């Protein structure tokens, strides 16, 4: 009988090798002392956070590497945290997008602690990647942010937000692709106010949005802000705000004006500077309101950068003025560097458009000015009455009459304001009730019954119009999976988490319905 030799591969798979047959017998039991969680053999710890540890492991049933997210025992003892963990884990498992590290399963270890089995990504975090690639051109930096935005958009379409976007949660694969990790976990373990049991705000201070820092409710625009802070660091190599303590940093996100990126790195192009400043607006209503516009502007900025970089000499190609590596040429660029087939031609081979003729512009300007002056003279030219006296033109007489009738604007009374507010409140209730009915229609016709749509889904499918999904103040209603599913209006002030928000459960139960203002309340406010 042939002798058997035990072989332990680097990934942690144990096989027996038969030298006579020259073959591996296949997986066997792990060696004594190997750490096991369920059927997963632990190789090493690859990360640790406030909620638990992330481990590299091997699935002994498939011989494939996986990542294990095991929450700490203290968190596992909290029943509310466990329920939220299970609910959010199910939502995160529904995400299937090439830019998001997939969650395969939720299981429990021998002590009953739940853990997640996730896709193992052979890549490096973005913060380490950018330190190892200081010569990365602006087009590649834009492409990284573009891929992250595409992944966040896919999650938002399933009513899932990340709440902790930062460079360490973005992995860059050897091929240059992007994978977002830790989806939904921070949200699943804490309550809807974003405050933990120790009064610590969920999120990372250097990338946290102002509304997160203030403990208010958040939506996808908070992820856009954090992605903007990450983008800021990519092009300037420093955080947008810094301080001696986490609280000091968060207060700067809330109160301090943002220094535009081009003032830190003068090489930052104007379009990229504009995109970052808009992503990081203090007021969520002043940021990009959806990912469609953000993705469109990032794609345009990427094309512009590629066009310019391919025309520049190599010594000017890179964002920070470093010596260009071999990968800088379009032929040698990684696949993700030209994502989604945006570049199908060599832009540098296209001829530059001829500059406009200055003579033509001058002639057109003079002709236009003469035409405007003639028209004004014709309308304003005085006329003569029957007695031969000069009279103002009909247009001039109309203007003078109008000026004579101008009165200061009349201030509305408290009763008029109260009547208008009552109408807006009634409109908001009606539109929320209509949206709740449309959610039921969506769930009856959608591929996955019971899944909550977004407002954008209802509009896209023709189930509701834009007017029907706005409140009485013209703001879009919000559908969120928080609390088992809610439909909300941000009310008069447009700020989430205040007393005039309208909140209904997806089943139609009203949780918070502000009353219309009375004339007496309006007088007090005045």
Active site residues: 164
d(CA 281, CA 224): 10
- What are residue 27's DSSP bridge partners? 15
- Residue 358's contacts (CB-CB under 8 Å, 6 or more residues apart) are none
**Per-residue DSSP letter, 476:** B
Query: What is the C-alpha separation between 267 and 321, in angstroms, rounded?
Result: 9
Residues 6 or more apart whose Cβ sits within 8 Å of residue 284: 209, 211, 219, 221, 222, 225
Task: Mention every residue, 6+ apart, whose C-beta is less than 8 A from residue 23.
Answer: 17
Please give the helix or strand (H or E) that residue 223 lies within, else none.
Answer: helix 220-236
d(CA 116, CA 181): 12
Q: Hey, what are 196's tokens?
A: 């933990």
Cα angle for residues 380, 384, 389 (degrees, 5° grid)? 115
Identify the three-state secondary structure at position 459.
Answer: helix
For 81, phi and psi rounded to 5 degrees?
A: -65, -40
Residue 478: in which H helix or E strand, if any?
strand 478-480
DSSP state of 511: E
SS3 471: coil
The CA angle 424-425-429, to the nearest 5 degrees, is: 115
d(CA 204, CA 215): 13
Secondary structure element (H or E) that encloses residue 71, with its range: strand 64-71
């Amino acid at each position: 009988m042939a002798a058997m030799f035990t072989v332990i591969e680097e990934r942690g798979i144990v096989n027996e090798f038969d030298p006579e047959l020259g073959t591996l017998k296949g997986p066997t039991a792990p060696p004594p002392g190997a750490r096991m969680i369920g059927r997963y053999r632990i190789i090493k710890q690859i990360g640790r956070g406030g909620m638990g540890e992330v481990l590299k492991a091997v699935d002994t049933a498939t011989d494939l590497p996986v990542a294990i997210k095991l929450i700490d025992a203290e968190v596992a003892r909290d029943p509310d945290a466990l329920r939220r963990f299970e609910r959010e884990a199910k939502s995160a498992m529904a995400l299937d997008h090439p830019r998001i590290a997939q969650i395969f399963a939720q299981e429990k270890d021998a002590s009953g602690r739940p853990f997640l089995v996730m896709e193992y990504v052979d890549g490096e975090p973005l913060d380490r990647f950018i330190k190892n690639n200081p010569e990365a051109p602006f087009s590649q930096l834009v492409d990284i942010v573009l891929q992250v935005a595409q992944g966040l958009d896919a999650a938002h379409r399933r009513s899932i937000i990340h709440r902790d976007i930062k460079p360490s949660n973005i992995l860059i694969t050897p091929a240059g692709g992007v994978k977002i990790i830790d989806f939904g976990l921070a949200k699943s373990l804490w309550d809807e106010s974003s405050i933990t049991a120790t009064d610590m705000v969920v999120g990372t201070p250097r990338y946290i949005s102002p509304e997160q820092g203030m403990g208010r409710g958040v939506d996808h625009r908070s992820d856009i802000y954090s992605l903007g802070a990450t983008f800021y660091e990519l092009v300037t190599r420093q955080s947008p705000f810094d301080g001696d303590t986490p609280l000091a940093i968060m207060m700067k996100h809330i109160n301090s004006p943002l220094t535009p990126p081009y003032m830190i790195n003068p090489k930052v192009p104007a379009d990229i500077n504009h995109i970052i400043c808009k992503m990081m607006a203090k007021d969520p209503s002043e940021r990009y309101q959806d990912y469609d516009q953000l993705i469109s502007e990032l794609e345009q900025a990427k094309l512009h950068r590629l066009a310019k970089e391919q025309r520049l000499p190599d010594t000017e190609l890179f964002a920070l003025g470093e010596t260009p590596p071999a990968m800088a040429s379009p032929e040698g660029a990684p696949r993700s560097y030209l994502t989604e087939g945006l570049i199908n031609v060599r832009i540098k081979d296209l001829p530059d458009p001829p500059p406009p003729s200055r003579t033509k512009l001058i002639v057109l300007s003079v002709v236009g000015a003469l035409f405007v002056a003639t028209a004004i003279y014709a309308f304003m030219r005085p006329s003569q009455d029957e007695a031969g006296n000069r009279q103002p033109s009909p247009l001039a007489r109309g203007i003078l009459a109008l000026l004579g009738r101008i009165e200061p604007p009349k201030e509305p009374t408290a009763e008029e304001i109260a009547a208008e507010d009552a109408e807006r409140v009634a409109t908001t209730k009606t539109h929320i009730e209509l949206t709740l009915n449309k959610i039921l229609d969506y769930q009856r016709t959608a591929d996955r019954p019971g899944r909550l749509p977004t407002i954008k889904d209802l509009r896209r499918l023709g189930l509701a119009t834009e007017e029907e999904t706005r409140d009485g103040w013209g703001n879009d209603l919000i559908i969120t999976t928080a609390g088992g599913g809610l439909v909300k209006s941000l009310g008069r002030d447009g700020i989430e988490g205040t007393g005039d928000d309208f909140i209904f459960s997806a089943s139609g139960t009203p949780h918070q319905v502000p009353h219309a203002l009375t004339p007496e309340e309006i007088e007090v406010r005045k």
